Structure 1
Amino acid sequence: MKEKKKLPADDPAMLLLGEIQNRGIATDVIESNNVLADIPLIRLDDPSLDQSRTDVFNPMVGGISCGPGVSVLYAPWAGTLGIAATRTNFDNFGEPGIMSNQHVMYYDPETTTVYQPARKDSVWNYQAGDKLKAFKGNVLFGGVQIYVDCAVASVIADRSSARWSVFGIDGLVMGIVERSNVGLGNPVIKSGIATGVTNGKVKYLSYEAPDSGGVIAYNQFGIVGDDGVKFADGGDSGSVVLIGSKIMGLLWGGGPDNTDYLVAASPIEAVIQTLNVNLA
């Protein structure tokens, strides 16, 4: 069995750990040699896909199909629309938006629009958003580097979005859980287009591993499913991860972790800062 190696005491993750432990929350941080890959996207004709999530939604809610506004020849896949948001940057202030991952909504530098549902082999193209902003990499938040894979688009005039609503989740999804208030073993839930509504728990608070491009993804939440069931699979990228009815992370990647399939989620505060959105 591989020995668990402690990070240095002056490592930013360990400093945060001390702050959390002072609040009486059980925590730990360990080093890992695993690689985190983007959770694969899924073809819309995949027989395992919950077809009700691939319908045209108006208003749009979290937990449904979306993808980049490019030809199906280039992007015959779907990811998950995480949740509706309000944009707060100067150019788009107050505009309703839809949020997901960069690797779900973005195809290339010319990508400016988003479709819901995602493009498939059909004559119909259901544009849902424009003015796309997407980012993938580490950002500085709270004095530490945090990896995010995130995107937001403004809802176009003939579509609408329903705030605080996620397909399959009862009640309103309102508010966030700050990174410092998340503890080991916290129960979590998500709703995605591939595996639907699943339950899991927080296994790591500051998980760090290379992404599929070799970039170190710093300070991620590591999540595993309950009872040996995968918390997420191909197509679930972009789902919001909840503690109760509040958002704690944005799901983007995963990989093997001993006997578990580990899912990575970026702390939602860093996503909000990067995209300039409001989820309240």
Structure 2
Amino acid sequence: MPRARLRELGISIGTHPTGPYNAITDVPDIFVGHETLIFDEPALARTGVTMIVPRAGNIWTDHAYAGFFSFNGCGEMTGLPWVEESGVLHTPIGITNTNSVGVVRDAIAAYPLDMSDKWHVPPSIASSWQGSLPVVAETWDGWLNNIGAFQVTKQHAYQALDKAQSGPVAEGNVGGGTGMICHEFKGGIGTSSRVVTCFGQQYTVGVLVQANYGSRHLLRVDGVPVGREIDYAKVADPWSIPPKEAQSLLFSPPMLLLFLPNVPDWPNEQPLVSPVQAV
């Protein structure tokens, strides 16, 4: 049974109503697809790919206005120079782990030539500049995933594109979010929407986030400092564990939260994982 969302637990953030799915797919003609990799052999995999496909799959020929803003951190995102120059998006948006940005970027560029049946993309797009500047973003999942094994392939990216659809969006340990950590809890994919009225017109604003950032004591839910209220008295001292044993524990999801340090008294504390990359 899927875990409850915040509103199902009685926590409603903000005053604007949500769309019917409370997801980015409430925006007309936005599709989302995931390909999730979870296995232990030949190397540990807790990773994947998420694709956001605008224009109901016609984004290769029916381009969309686009922009970006980097709040902080060093998250890699390909294709931004062209978005900044033109203000236009020509391809789906991919999200994956840090080491897989290149293969997912190449897959999106090659997709019209190799796998255009579903979206009916003209194969000529693959050899034109319009299909050669994909936007692909990353966050780092190296705590839970053997990121150095480079297990995400072009075929996985194709499968995420082929699965993209409207309607409810799977959240949590799916797609690019499979191996992510957020505020020292399990992170992953999240999505939401709000319906707003501006100058008499109604608009839907949708968001999809691959959450992978933050120390636990910084966690807030609807303004409440939940992270600071958690009792750390029984949390094991991570520095007392020999390095090899600590590494094996960190790659074991059930034990992970017991051994990630929380030191709220450090004035210059650095996040344990990379900042969120949101699109």
Report if TM-score (shorter chain) is over 0.5.
no
TM-score range, shorter chain: under 0.3
TM-score of the pair, normalised by structure 2? 0.27
- In our comparison, the structure showing a higher alpha carbon Rg is 2
More strand by share: 1
Higher helix share: 2
